[in-house]
Amino acid sequence: MAKINVMPKHLAELIAAGEVVERPASIVKELLENSVDAGADTVTLEIRRGGISYIRISDNGSGIGRDDIRNAFVSHATSKIKDADDLNSIMTLGFRGEALASIAAVSRVEVLTAVKGDPVGTRYVTEFGEEILLDDAGCPCGTTVTVRDLFMKTPARMKFLKKDVTEANAVASAVDRVALSHPEVSFRFIRDGKQTLMTSGKGDLLTCIREVFGKEFASGLIECSGEASGIKVGGFISKPQYSRPNRNMQFFFINGRYVRTGTGSAALSEGYRNSIMVGKFPSCVLNIEINPSLVDVNVHPAKTEVRFSDEKPVFSAVFGAVKSALDRGDTRVQVEQVSSPYQSNKPYNFPVKYTDKPKVPDEQLKMKTGGGFLRMSASEFGNGGASKKEESVPSPVPFRPKTTLTANAPDSLPREGAGIDSADDILLNSPSPVSAPASEESPVSEAPQPINSEEFEEEQFRLVGEAFMTYIICEYKKKLIIIDKHAAHERIIYERLKNNEGERTGQMLLSPVTVDLPKDEYSAVTGNIGIINESGFEVEDFGSGSVLVRACPMELSPDEIPDIIAEIAGRFVEKRQDVMFEKLDWIFHSVACRSAIKAGNVTSRLEMEKFAKQLLSMPEIRYCPHGRPVLIEMTQRELEKNFGRIQ
Ligand SMILES: Nc1ncnc2c1ncn2[C@@H]1O[C@H](COP(=O)(O)OP(=O)(O)OP(=O)(O)O)[C@@H](O)[C@H]1O
Ligand SMILES: [Mg+2]
């Protein structure tokens, strides 16, 4: 066994710093919290290069006295608690006395601070944990902390930092959260010389939400308040029709501190049960006021996780407040609770805006040409209104990025709602799609490799019908077959996307769709544009939280674009660590799921028949991409045994 050494102070500090200071956003969060704790009502933050080279935070709070300044930088030195009992009544954002020491260990720090009434202020400078200067300074009452050269001496940490823009977006999200939790403080954020946020500090939460997330988001909210068992809940929740495909716009605060709380989130979802579709999530900005002795904030180094001594009353308080807000509002959209999240009812999804749509001649809409069953889209399968175009959604023109024309592709395929006649136009075994009307120069390309198919025995097949507008029932080779039409279609589309590497076809939109995203999702999307475009989208960074979608995979109905981009963005945020092929794979999942015919959509008999035959001739397609079976079968013998006809 090697000898045990006591670490030198600096090394111990460096290791401790790793827990608190992960990236510029964590520094910003800590410094903003210090300003709030110091009673400031005006705080200005400025960063350069994502905060890696420069962060400055100025406040007009209490300031730090000359006698205290060295201690402020000592680990476990705090003015906020004195003894163990105080841990039960924490109302400040800081309490560990750890932040400044940790920040100082990994950067160059300069503090200018003055306490009201003191004749002169203080300038204190440290470099990577070492004191460099302590001197007089003429400065206004309050504190300015400047952090430079973060992680310069800890290259291992530096390696984990993302691109400047990603770090800057993470900083912006940190500012948003502190600003939302303290509407009584005016926050100003300057990013590379440009002011990107300014809250008025009026104390009104809705105004603050509008300042942080914009008018559109704020106008989709309803007020929510309530009290139960001494726990107060107050804030805003989204109208049901403004739900999102993930939880990224749920903000919970406990006694003014941003936290992630599974209890709060579960209570919120429960409150919306029957009001929004399964698979959709509400947004919220909710503050929970609770006796601090009933909540432990000392669970996680970042202080963003909490433990309640009893979760039930917290759940009840949030649930009650949400439920009564939804009941009160006349905004409620009743949606039947369904077992499948893939229903055709499509609510509006915040935050999205569309660009103007030019008039598209009908012929152009018909230009989409089908390439075999694998190309069948939900609308072609049999419409149920699932893909009806909304007025504001631009219409597609098919395009093909790499390949162009297939030898025997037909000229046109009627789109949705074409009824029974159209089923014959669904080209079950024809080659891949084409980009545009045939042109002389268009080179002939290979059709994508179809999934292995086997001889279909026509005379052994009979369509029985459909149950619950979801399951196609047929007889085949003396078996009763029940097909989940959504799951089966989804898997087929998924396979096509996956197998057509380098051939993924997109449809060019006549007018691009602008999708506005929350900051972290925006940064996740812009950081992964290559992967998204690999899957048949054509997405570009539009700046200021927006991306522009010029094309989407052929299978996808363009009115799904805002939702699917938000969904993909959410996954990127959640699954940062996934490698490229995993990311691509779940983009295919999302596209397939959204493009497939939905349970509940009307399907004609002819369409069902075509679909069933196609599926039965593909023995490899027996599970959906999520691993659920796409069909179940029962032999005639099993059936007869069940009815006691045979033993
Ligand atoms: N902007 C500020 N204005 C006034 N005092 C400050 C400011 N920033 C820090 N201080 C003082 O320095 C002390 C140390 O700050 P630091 O952030 O390291 O610890 P903390 O806030 O007490 O706890 P935590 O580590 O949980 O943040 C604080 O307790 C406070 O007294
Ligand atoms: Mg602090």
Can you give the residue ranges of every domain in the chain? 9-202, 220-328, 362-387+394-436+444-631
CATH class, 362-387+394-436+444-631 region = alpha beta
pLDDT in tens, 193-216: 999 999 999 999 999 999 999 988
What is the structure's pLDDT at 356?
31
What is the structure's pLDDT at 150?
92
Q: What is the mean pLDDT of the segment spanning 77-85?
A: 75
Percent with pLDDT over 90 in the chain: 37
Least confident of 60-69, 396-405, 456-465: 396-405
Residue with tokens 């303290």: 182
Residue 383 CA to residue 600 CA, distance in Å, equals 10
Residue 564 CA to residue 538 CA, distance in Å, equals 13
User: How many angstroms does the Cα of residue 303 sit away from the middle of ligand 2?
Assistant: 11
What is the structure's pLDDT at 200?
95
| Pocket of ligand 1 contains residue 61 by CB under 6 Å | yes
Residue 288 CA to residue 96 CA, distance in Å, equals 22
Q: Count Cβ atoms below 10 Å from residue 283 Cβ, excluding itself.
A: 24
State the ligand closest to the CA atom of 75: 1
Least confident of 156-165, 395-404, 410-419: 410-419
pLDDT in tens, 601-628: 888 898 899 889 988 888 777 777 766 7
Residue 531 CA to residue 38 CA, distance in Å, equals 45
Per-residue pLDDT for 426 more than 50?
no
pLDDT in tens, 519-556: 889 988 998 888 898 888 999 999 888 999 999 988 88
What confidence category does residue 30 fall into, taking pLDDT thresholds of 50, 70 and 90? very high
Q: Count Cβ atoms below 10 Å from residue 105 Cβ, excluding itself.
A: 28
| Pocket of ligand 1 contains residue 100 by CB under 6 Å | yes
DSSP state of 145: E
| Pocket of ligand 1 contains residue 95 by CB under 6 Å | yes
- φ and ψ at residue 237, rounded to 5 degrees: -130, 160
What is the structure's pLDDT at 601?
84
User: How many angstroms does the Cα of residue 146 sit away from the middle of ligand 1?
Assistant: 14
| Pocket of ligand 1 contains residue 98 by CB under 6 Å | yes
Q: What is the mean pLDDT of the segment spanning 370-398?
A: 38
Strand pairing class (142-148; 54-59): antiparallel
| Pocket of ligand 1 contains residue 238 by CB under 6 Å | no
Helix 485-499 vs helix 605-616: crossing angle, to nearest 10? 50
Ion ligand 2 neighbours (CB, 5 A) are 34, 94, 99
pLDDT in tens, 92-110: 888 777 899 999 999 999 9
What is the structure's pLDDT at 223?
95
What is the structure's pLDDT at 638?
85
State the ligand closest to the CA atom of 303: 1
What confidence category does residue 452 fall into, taking pLDDT thresholds of 50, 70 and 90? low
Return the ligand 1 atom nearest residue 102 CA. Answer: 18
User: How many angstroms does the Cα of residue 97 sit away from the middle of ligand 1?
Assistant: 6
Q: Which of 276, 195, 245 is nearest to 352 (CA)?
A: 245
* Mean pLDDT value across the chain: 77
Strand pairing class (284-289; 231-238): antiparallel
Helix 561-574 vs helix 519-526: crossing angle, to nearest 10? 90
| Pocket of ligand 1 contains residue 38 by CB under 6 Å | yes
Report the C-alpha dihedral over residues 275, 393, 571, 196, rounded to 10 degrees: -100
| Pocket of ligand 1 contains residue 90 by CB under 6 Å | no
Residue nearest to atom 27 of ligand 1 (CA): 94
| Pocket of ligand 1 contains residue 142 by CB under 6 Å | no
Q: Which two tokens stand for residue 62?
A: 């209490």
Residue with tokens 């002169």: 120
What confidence category does residue 363 fall into, taking pLDDT thresholds of 50, 70 and 90? very low
Per-residue pLDDT for 376 more than 70?
no
Residue 499 CA to residue 153 CA, distance in Å, equals 47
| Pocket of ligand 1 contains residue 64 by CB under 6 Å | yes
Q: What is the mean pLDDT of the segment spanning 555-578?
A: 85
Residue 624 CA to residue 472 CA, distance in Å, equals 16
CATH 3.30.565.10 applies to domain 9-202: yes
Least confident of 140-149, 234-243, 272-281, 393-402: 393-402
User: How many angstroms does the Cα of residue 61 sit away from the middle of ligand 1?
Assistant: 12
What confidence category does residue 439 fall into, taking pLDDT thresholds of 50, 70 and 90? very low
Return the ligand 1 atom nearest residue 100 CA. Answer: 18
User: How many angstroms does the Cα of residue 620 sit away from the middle of ligand 1?
Assistant: 62
Classify residue 266 by burial, with Cβ atoms within 10 Å: 0-12, 13-18, 19+: middle
Under a CB-based contact definition with an 8 Å cutoff, are residues 124 and 68 in contact? no
What confidence category does residue 447 fall into, taking pLDDT thresholds of 50, 70 and 90? very low
What is the structure's pLDDT at 468?
92
Per-residue pLDDT for 242 more than 90?
no
Under a CB-based contact definition with an 8 Å cutoff, are residues 604 and 420 in contact? yes
Tell which CATH classification among 3.40.50.11740, 3.40.1350.10, 3.30.230.10, 3.30.1380.10 matches the domain 220-328. Answer: 3.30.230.10
User: How many angstroms does the Cα of residue 77 sit away from the middle of ligand 1?
Assistant: 8
Q: Which two tokens stand for residue 211?
A: 């300042």
> Three-state DSSP class for 215?
helix
- Higher-confidence residue: 341 or 177? 177
| Pocket of ligand 1 contains residue 514 by CB under 6 Å | no
Residue 47 CA to residue 637 CA, distance in Å, equals 74
| Pocket of ligand 1 contains residue 153 by CB under 6 Å | no
Return the best residue to mutate from 100, 139, 143 for the ligand 1 pocket (most ligand atoms within 8 A of CB): 100
Query: Which are the contacts of 316, defined by CB distance < 8 A and separation ≥ 6?
Result: 228, 229, 267
Model confidence, pTM = 0.62
State the ligand closest to the CA atom of 77: 1
What is the structure's pLDDT at 264?
93
Residue 379 CA to residue 493 CA, distance in Å, equals 13
Q: Count Cβ atoms below 10 Å from residue 411 Cβ, excluding itself.
A: 10
Q: Which two tokens stand for residue 345?
A: 């009812």
Q: Which of 628, 627, 645 is nearest to 636 (CA)?
A: 645
Helix 164-181 vs helix 519-526: crossing angle, to nearest 10? 170
Residue nearest to atom 30 of ligand 1 (CA): 79
User: How many angstroms does the Cα of residue 109 sit away from the middle of ligand 1?
Assistant: 14
Residue nearest to atom 13 of ligand 1 (CA): 72
Q: Count Cβ atoms below 10 Å from residue 195 Cβ, excluding itself.
A: 11
Q: What is the mean pLDDT of the segment spanning 258-280?
A: 86
User: How many angstroms does the Cα of residue 46 sit away from the middle of ligand 1?
Assistant: 19
First-last CA distance in the chain: 72
pLDDT in tens, 496-519: 887 776 566 678 898 899 999 988
| Pocket of ligand 1 contains residue 59 by CB under 6 Å | yes
- φ and ψ at residue 229, rounded to 5 degrees: 50, 40
Residue with tokens 């069940």: 642
What confidence category does residue 353 fall into, taking pLDDT thresholds of 50, 70 and 90? very low
Return the best residue to mutate from 45, 78, 146 for the ligand 1 pocket (most ligand atoms within 8 A of CB): 78
| Pocket of ligand 1 contains residue 103 by CB under 6 Å | no
Residue nearest to atom 7 of ligand 1 (CA): 34
| Pocket of ligand 1 contains residue 80 by CB under 6 Å | yes
